[in-house]
């Protein structure tokens, strides 16, 4: 998943980014509100980790602004502010959680995953896809107690489709959320098609996977009709 870290304390922002990248997140960083505003306006993020006390912006204003550009983005507020009013305002504006400083990085990760499960209506950390199960703790795809060998990006691509089940995702959306932000002239839709073809080939060795659908001229979808 694609995360924007908005934090003016650069050492903390870098520490969070290093940790989340180890957990297979894509991370961008913004050290002030103006930079964050610009990134949110042009990129699609799944999560924004937001420090309210920015040098040039009130973080609450950034939430208001960001929700206009990307209503689906999830905010987790990370700040030293302890006032109950700030927490209430942030949540009222659409923030999904509030984590006061100082905090442990594993707790931040746990909160991100908890928000993701609520956001995408995932009842447990593991995801069932037909006869297959995605084991999130070990990043494994299993079929009948046997692991299906997948590359990191293949697993990430299947996971992103899975948590957006029944939603058609364009090739551009998939590319940006799995490989990071890019300029339009760098984008090659065939890149996604090749990865989907490889995923289907590995799945079909074990069992049919009609739930992984191609939506002609648009992109791909995982359907719950199967």
Domain boundaries, the chain: 2-119, 127-222
Question: Over the stretch 115-152, which tens digit does the pLDDT of each residue have?
Answer: 988 887 776 678 899 999 999 878 899 999 999 999 98
CATH of domain 127-222: 1.10.10.10
Write the CB contacts of 99 (distance below 8 Å, at least 6 apart in sequence): 76, 77, 78, 107, 108, 111
Predicted structure pTM score: 0.73
- Could you give the CA distance from residue 39 to residue 19 in angstroms, rounded to a whole number? 21
Can you give the pLDDT at residue 99? Answer: 87
Tokens representing residue 209 in the block: 């996977």
CB 37 within 8 A of CB 45: no
Q: What φ, ψ does residue 105 adopt, rounded to 5°?
A: -60, -40
Place of tokens 């590995």: 202
Residue 81's pLDDT band, with cuts at 50, 70 and 90, is low
Q: What is the mean pLDDT of residues 11-15?
A: 95
Whether the per-residue pLDDT at 62 is higher than 80: the answer is yes
Whether the per-residue pLDDT at 184 is higher than 60: the answer is no
- Could you give the CA distance from residue 203 to residue 212 in angstroms, rounded to a whole number? 10
Write the CB contacts of 41 (distance below 8 Å, at least 6 apart in sequence): 69
Helix (H, G, I), strand (E, B) or coil at 128: strand
Helix (H, G, I), strand (E, B) or coil at 87: helix
Whether the per-residue pLDDT at 64 is higher than 60: the answer is yes
- Could you give the CA distance from residue 149 to residue 155 in angstroms, rounded to a whole number? 9
Write down the architecture of domain 2-119 according to CATH.
3-Layer(aba) Sandwich (3.40)
Tokens representing residue 95 in the block: 């923030």
Cβ neighbours, 10 Å, residue 102: 8
Residue 82's pLDDT band, with cuts at 50, 70 and 90, is low
CB 80 within 8 A of CB 53: yes
């Amino acid at each position: 998943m694609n995360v924007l870290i908005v934090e003016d304390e650069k050492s903390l922002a870098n520490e969070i980014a290093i940790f989340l990248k180890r957990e297979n997140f894509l991370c961008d960083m913004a050290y002030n509100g103006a930079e964050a505003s610009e990134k949110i306006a042009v990129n699609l993020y799944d999560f924004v980790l937001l420090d309210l006390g920015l040098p040039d912006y009130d973080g609450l204003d950034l939430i208001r602004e960001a929700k206009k550009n990307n209503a689906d983005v999830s905010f987790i507020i990370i700040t030293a502010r302890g006032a109950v009013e700030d927490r209430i305002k942030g949540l009222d504006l659409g923030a999904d959680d509030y984590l006061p400083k100082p905090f442990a990085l594993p707790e931040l990760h746990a909160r991100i995953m908890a928000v993701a499960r609520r956001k995408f209506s995932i009842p447990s950390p593991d995801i069932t896809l037909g006869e297959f199960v995605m084991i999130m703790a070990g990043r494994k795809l299993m079929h009948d107690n046997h692991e299906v060998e997948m590359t990191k990006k293949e697993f990430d691509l299947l996971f992103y489709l899975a948590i957006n089940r029944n939603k058609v995702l364009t090739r551009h959306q998939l590319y940006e959320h799995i490989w990071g932000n890019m300029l339009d002239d760098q984008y090659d839709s065939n890149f996604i098609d090749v990865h989907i073809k490889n995923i289907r080939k590995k799945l079909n060795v074990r069992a049919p996977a009609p739930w992984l659908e191609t939506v002609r001229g648009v992109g791909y979808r995982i359907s719950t009709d199967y």
